[in-house]
A and B are shown apart, each in its own frame.
Chain A
Amino acid sequence: QVQLVQSGAEVKKPGASVKVSCRASGYTFTSHYAHWVRQAPGQGLEWMGIINPSGDSTTYAQKFQGRVTMTRDTSTSTDYMELSSLRSDDTAVYYCARDYRHALDFWGQGTMVTVSS
């Protein structure tokens, strides 16, 4: 069965960086794009970006360009999302999700990132 397992919760200080991982299993990793989405406490979903199956192409939401980097390691079926220059309003649950026909069909369990001094 398809599973996306994300890394654990993080607490970071303003200005720091965070790197979240998402390990995939149960399907052919290199046949699907992957999205990253975040959700601030009590707020809606916010799309951050997408990485292609081979990991050599990314598209980021304009809001995050210059601060976010998405990578993937096909040898371990793992996607990574790194967000830099963290601010308090980056406090959110970060999700990875598999792409299927321009929809997000399987999601990770989410990783809580708290930015606080």
Chain B
Amino acid sequence: QSALTQPASVSGSPGQSITISCTGTSSDVGGYNYVSWYQQHPGKAPKLIIYEVNDRPSGVSNRFSGSKSGNTASLTISGLQAEDEADYYCSSYTVSGTPWVFGGGTKLTVL
């Protein structure tokens, strides 16, 4: 069981927007602005797409955005494209004995 809870799957049509949630506790998501999001295509290494809740690394499309409210963080992808079909993972720094935790991952299907 992962420390952060994500939906197992989401789907959307090209051009639409989708949001993936990531629920933790006040010890991780709610307590720090160190939430990050990763995109992983099959057989590839994960790629950082959001850090510190809502910042994008250089080169990442502005179609990806992040936010946080209380103990839940969210990743929104607007203008869905076929290439966005992938697994998405959230992560947070935490005060617990294991200082970084991941969500279980969400499979995005572009219909």
* A positions within 8 Å CB-CB of B: 35, 37, 44-47, 50, 59, 61-63, 95, 97, 100-110
Contact = CB atoms under 8 A, between A and B. Distances in A.
B64 interface: no
Given A101-B51, A101-B52, A102-B36, A47 B45 contact: no
Nearest to A96: B45
B69 interface: no
Contacts of B47: 107
A105 B38 CA distance: 9
Interface stretch (B9-17, B19-27, B75-83, B97-105): B97-105
Contact of B48 (A59, A61, A103): A103
Contact of B104 (A44, A103, A105): A44
